[in-house]
Amino acid sequence: MNAHPLLARITIAAAMAGWLSEDPSIQAAATPLWTPYETVLTATSQPANPYVSLSAEAVLDPPGGGPRRRLPLFWDGGRTWKLRFSPDKPGVWRWTVQSKDPGLDGQTGGFEAAGSGHPGRLEPMARFPHHFSRQDGAPFWFLGDTAWALFTDSQSEHHDRAAAFRYLEARARQGFNVVHSMLLSEAGWGNAGGPPFLDLGAEQINPAYWQEVDLRIAEANRQGIVCGLALAWGDKRKVEPFAWRRFPSVEARHRYARYIAARYSALDVYFIVSGEWHAEIRTRPSTEDALRQEFVALGNTIRAADPHGRMAAIHPMTSHGSVREFNPAPWMAFGDYQQNYRDLHARALLSRSYRKPVVNSEYGYFLRDQDGDGVPDKDNSTSIESMRHATWDIVMAGGYPITGFGTTYFGGNRDPGPFDLEAEKNRPWELQIGLVKRLFTTFDWWKLEPQDDALSCAAPRGTEGKEFGRITPPRVAYWCLAELGRQYVIYVRGLAQAVELEIPAAARLSSCRLFNPRTGELKSLPLPADANRYQFVPPDDQDWLVAIR
């Protein structure tokens, strides 16, 4: 398989800009910083299963010296091996391959890295580690959607590459900049290239499947979307042909983790070591702590094989809700990567103690109706109000949401009918979820900290309710985010009376704006007579926000 056209366009653009090297050992056109450089090498030998019996590693020397980088090559069918690396330093990079195969061992080359319009990897913000930035320092408001089936096809669900590309274009247009997906489908789907493994028990990987995954990640990245890649799922005792438990050995699991890091760490991604990791304990004799250590070791393997420092997380089942306990692992880059439907605000606050970004990665799938009886059947998902309230409860705790839509999140597999990006019922939430990001990116949101105690109200905060037998967020809530004395965001709902905000004596209010999270309307409010006490009386008992400077 040739390099993806996106990569070819990058190379051509760099050449047109005049970035040419006089050294014949260096590729002619420069690679822009933080974008993939790829080269193809040919092995001499072709054993029955090169994925298992052959390996190769590149040693990269950065410009001007400094620590060497090591990166595995990945097998891509036949005698083809590839090196894929994204440079983070301008100048000439040189590489040498080490392998037992004589056709690969000792191969050398290099490339020149030059300026780039790409912002670099996703990472915790240096001075405000609960938030995200890009490698170039640009703040990043993380707005995620769930597309578990992004890399797979289903004829019955009308989901294929064209559908995936339409989905990515639509979500980028709606303001999403993150999508997380399964690399190995829980439903057992393959794609146009076939299944991911021709025989998982024999570790016969299928490069054609992964070449199709390459195309879809490249398209997501082209649309400005970072891909969260879940390597495999815990075995929930369903028909899950690619669950972690079904790998033939511990070595096989680590081999696969290393392969994924080799193939994808150069792209704009982060890694999810496992989906619903502790489901494995149901199917094999092990203590939970022992199983946890197995996944810590898998994360260590990914980290060791990834010279790009991509963020990594792991994902729990609903019964656990949180993966805070993985924070001692050196690769765990998130304070939490929750699958949590209850007590959303408080549980996000609890996970902030680790001073890393907190993401609730599964809290609702809008209007999902898996059994087709016309009644939504997922917590926090039964109405636009429930979905919106749940999202704001997460965000007002300083967390970030990965939302979902019943008709799209699993390629159509968990909702009646085929994959449906155009479903009319999705329109309200497609609009309103985008308004969350729109508001926060009008000010320095990363400087805000949860300050709920700064608010007072005669009405107590509410407790969770039920609709159609499913959890809904509390009807009454009021929260505060603040950079004390500088900027505040107040969120209220279900109130017919005032909330009061205490402001430090030295502060002077310069503006108050009322934000409608249903429509996006933003209008000015009069400044109070008392500069140290702000009282807000909501227009009605719906949800409202006040942004104060």
Q: What is the pLDDT of residues 193-235, one digit of tens each?
A: 999 999 999 999 999 999 999 999 999 999 999 999 999 999 8
- How many whole angstroms separate alpha carbon 303 and alpha carbon 225? 22
Which residues share a beta bridge with 70?
59
pLDDT interval class at 280 (50, 70, 90): confident
Q: Tell which wins on pLDDT, 363 or 505.
A: 363
Average pLDDT value over all residues in the chain: 93
- How many whole angstroms separate alpha carbon 125 and alpha carbon 357? 9
Q: What is the pLDDT of residue 279?
A: 86
Compute the average pLDDT of residues 400-405: 98
Q: Provide the greatest CA pair distance for the chain.
A: 82
- How many whole angstroms separate alpha carbon 376 and alpha carbon 366? 8
Would you give the DSSP letter of residue 460?
P
Confidence check: pLDDT of 346 > 70: yes
Q: Tell which wins on pLDDT, 100 or 1.
A: 100
Delimit the domains of the chain by residue range: 5-114, 142-442, 449-548
pLDDT interval class at 506 (50, 70, 90): confident
- Let me know if the fold of 5-114 is the same as that of 142-442: no
Q: What is the pLDDT of residue 321?
A: 96
Q: What is the pLDDT of residue 287?
A: 85
pLDDT interval class at 529 (50, 70, 90): confident
Looking at the domain covering 449-548, what would its CATH class be? mainly beta
Confidence check: pLDDT of 340 > 70: yes
- How many whole angstroms separate alpha carbon 157 and alpha carbon 169? 19
Q: What is the pLDDT of residue 404?
A: 98
Q: What is the pLDDT of residue 446?
A: 98
- 178-182 vs 144-146, strand pairing mode: parallel
Please state the three-class secondary structure of 257-306 as a single string: HHHHHHHHCCCCEEEECCECHHHHHHCCCCCHHHHHHHHHHHHHHHHHHC
CB 91 within 8 A of CB 113: yes
Structure tokens at 271: 């890694």
φ and ψ at residue 500, rounded to 5 degrees: -125, 135
Compute the average pLDDT of residues 157-164: 98
Confidence check: pLDDT of 64 > 80: yes
What fold characterizes domain 5-114? Immunoglobulin-like (2.60.40)
Which residues share a beta bridge with 479?
491
Nearest to 448 by CA among 406, 412, 490: 490
Compute the average pLDDT of residues 157-165: 98
Compute the average pLDDT of residues 444-463: 97
Q: What is the pLDDT of residue 204?
A: 98
How much of the chain exceeds pLDDT 70, in percent?
A: 94
- CATH number for the 142-442 domain, one of 3.40.640.10, 3.20.20.80, 2.40.30.170, 3.40.50.300? 3.20.20.80
Confidence check: pLDDT of 283 > 80: no
Residue 454 DSSP SS3: helix
Confidence check: pLDDT of 8 > 50: no
453: Cβ contacts below 8 Å, ≥ 6 apart: none
Confidence check: pLDDT of 15 > 70: no
pLDDT interval class at 286 (50, 70, 90): confident
pLDDT interval class at 285 (50, 70, 90): low
Q: What angle do CA 229, 234, 240 make, to 5 degrees?
A: 95
Confidence check: pLDDT of 402 > 90: yes
Confidence check: pLDDT of 6 > 50: no
